[in-house]
Amino acid sequence: MSLNENIRIYQNEETEIIVNEDWCKSCGICISFCPKKVLVEDEKGRPVAKNIDACIHCMLCELRCPDFAIRVRKKKIALANNLEQKSLED
């Protein structure tokens, strides 16, 4: 990554959503496809993860973005919690 890239990072305990504003063309596809309405438009039409707590890590935003401008990362703490939960259920 070059230094002039504008990266916006949104995060909570479980999720990290990274938007590369230099690559984003404000097409709105990620916002339209998000089933949980996590993303809203900023004044330039770029996604803002306003409702990040609702993210279910379906990855649709990342997969549908034609410009690879948005990435979603499920944090390790969430994975660890899921494993713990699973072992309790077993």
**Which positions lie near ligand SF4, rule CB under 6 A?**
19, 24-30, 33-34, 36, 38-39, 46-47, 55-61, 65, 67, 69-70, 72
Q: Is the Cα torsion angle 11, 16, 22, 23 positive or negative in sign?
A: negative
Nearest Cα neighbor of 57 from 43, 69, 71 is 71
In sequence order, what are the residues at sequence separation of 6 or more whose Cβ sits closer than 8 angstroms to the Cβ of residue 63? none
27/78 with CB nearer ligand SF4: 27
Shortest reach from residue 70's CB to ligand SF4, in Å: 4
63/88 with CB nearer ligand SF4: 63
Shortest reach from residue 16's CB to ligand SF4, in Å: 11
Reading the block at residue 28, the tokens are 């709105």
Reading the block at residue 42, the tokens are 């900023």
Shortest reach from residue 39's CB to ligand SF4, in Å: 6
Q: What distance in Å separates the CA atoms of residue 6 and residue 80, rounded to the nearest whole number?
A: 31
7/80 with CB nearer ligand SF4: 7
